[in-house]
Amino acid sequence: MKNSKLLDLISILLPEEVKDFNSYISNIYTGKSSLPFQLWQALYNLYPDLDERKIGKEKIYKKLFGNEVYNENRVAKIMTELFKILEEFIFIKQVEDEHLYKKLKLMEFYQKRQLGRLFQSTQKEAGKLWEQEKECGKKYYLKYEMEVQKLLLTQTLENRQLDFQNAYDAVVNFSESELLRLENLEETGRSKHLRKNSPNNMFYNVHRKLERLKTNASDQMIQDTYTYIKDYIRYFAKEESREILNIFLNHAIKWVNHGKVTHEFLLDVYHIFIDKGVLLQENNTLFIATYKNYITCALRIGRIAEANIFLDKYKPFLPCTLQEEAYLFNKASILFEQEKYLEILEMLHTIKSDDIFYNINQRRLYIKTLYELFHRDEKYYDLYQSHCGAFKRFIYTDEKIPEYLQEANKSFLKIVQKIEAIDNKNDTSKITKIMKEINETTSLAERDWLLKKLKEV
């Protein structure tokens, strides 16, 4: 058995490790009939005299298969299987006392399955173990991993007010410490030529492009980043793909409100999610924000049938506690495009949403519906004005609303009331002024609908 990886590995094990592995593999193969187990028994009986010059494959083969004709490939396959079992055993032994690492892997599992209560208790235990760790670079790397898992759990629970500071501090703490360590270690070597090169890999490149979009969202930069994502997203792991697309999508939603990209562009991004298989989360659920945004995009470009298909197809994947209200709101949005306004009022009256984003959109849909109704029947005018007043108080006073959404909805409310207040349809100067305001307001919700209402005037 010359040049055998299996014998090389067994020969460097300590006697107590060989004994432990014998117990380990015996527990795996309780029937004692597996060929890898039989091979191990033959080698175990020879241990520690494992001189590869004395152990021939033919002899081993005969022990396993008697007088059958020797088959080189067959014995090689069995040796490979035993080698893999032995490597698995070594890994288990290596992490057996790594209690913090075990807790971290459990945190990762609970995070992906959105088991918040189990995650929280495991996180507390991991925190205590971290405090007990001796000072080393690995300690601060594990702290970074813990903070990332906490952040990801918050994200998977659809909390849109995320705080990245702890995770950011942890990665800076680890990376800067390790860089200093290597610079100091360099003094013990012969060469003194360490230089800090810029990273050059797909992971860095895509995040660099995404980072630049914060300050340079030109048409060219948007298209360049979008093309890069479409060309290279297939090379990324599933979780990384979802994260990259979510970051780009977050930018794109703001661009729609600023009139920089179309809803068709946004829908194309969602189709990449679907094609890549990352629209659903790890626990097979769909964010209610994703559910709403996809349907909204489809409706904005007149794809009512597509919106209806998505509405029913993905309803079962919504979180159970929010499923019915998310479904009803988006059903109401489709009915709005079909001008079934009285059905919408009845439906919206039954929805009580605690999600701040759904709450905003529900209130805005109420105003749009009442606007349409009072232009058909004046008895709805007072109700329309009442909802406008309530919406204004909500937008201006609720601190949970992100600033960009506040601005977009303040602008919406201001302009819809200006359109409603036009008392002379021949006052072209006022109409032109409002048209100019709609086109030039960078942050504006319902831009297309407002333009449509102004044109009707």
pLDDT tens digits, 128-157:
999 999 999 999 999 999 999 998 888 776
Q: Output the pLDDT for position 157.
A: 63
Whether residue 319 has a cis bond before it, omega within 30° of 0: no
Q: Output the pLDDT for position 365.
A: 95
Q: Output the pLDDT for position 62.
A: 85
Q: Output the pLDDT for position 363.
A: 94
pLDDT tens digits, 370-384:
999 999 999 999 999
pLDDT tens digits, 167-199:
999 999 999 999 999 988 888 877 777 888 889
pLDDT tens digits, 79-125:
999 999 999 999 999 988 899 999 999 999 999 888 889 999 999 99
- Predicted TM-score (pTM) of the model is 0.75
Task: Work out the angle at residue 109's Cα, subtended by the Cα atoms of residues 164 and 152, and round it to the nearest 5 degrees.
Answer: 15
Q: Output the pLDDT for position 42.
A: 87
Mean pLDDT to the nearest integer, 253-273: 89
Q: Output the pLDDT for position 2.
A: 60
Q: Is the pLDDT of residue 3 over 90?
A: no
Q: For every residue of the chain, which 3-state class applies, written as one string?
A: CCCCHHHHHHHCCCHHHHHHHHHHHHHHCCCCCCHHHHHHHHHHHHCCCCCCCCCCHHHHHHHHHCCCCCCHHHHHHHHHHHHHHHHHHHHHHHHCCCHHHHHHHHHHHHHHCCCHHHHHHHHHHHHHHHHHCCCCHHHHHHHHHHHHHHHHHHHHCCCCCCCCHHHHHHHHHHHHHHHHHHHHHHCCCCCCCCCCCCCCCHHHHHHHHHHHCCCCCCHHHHHHHHHHHHHHHHHCCHHHHHHHHHHHHHHHHHHHHCCCCCHHHHHHHHHHHHHHCCCCCCCCCCCHHHHHHHHHHHHHCCCHHHHHHHHHHCHHHCCCCCHHHHHHHHHHHHHHHCCCHHHHHHHHCCCCCCCHHHHHHHHHHHHHHHHHHHCCCHHHHHHHHHHHHHHHHHHHHCCCCCHHHHHHHHHHHHHHHHHHCCCCCCCHHHHHHHHHHHHHCCCCCCHHHHHHHHHHC
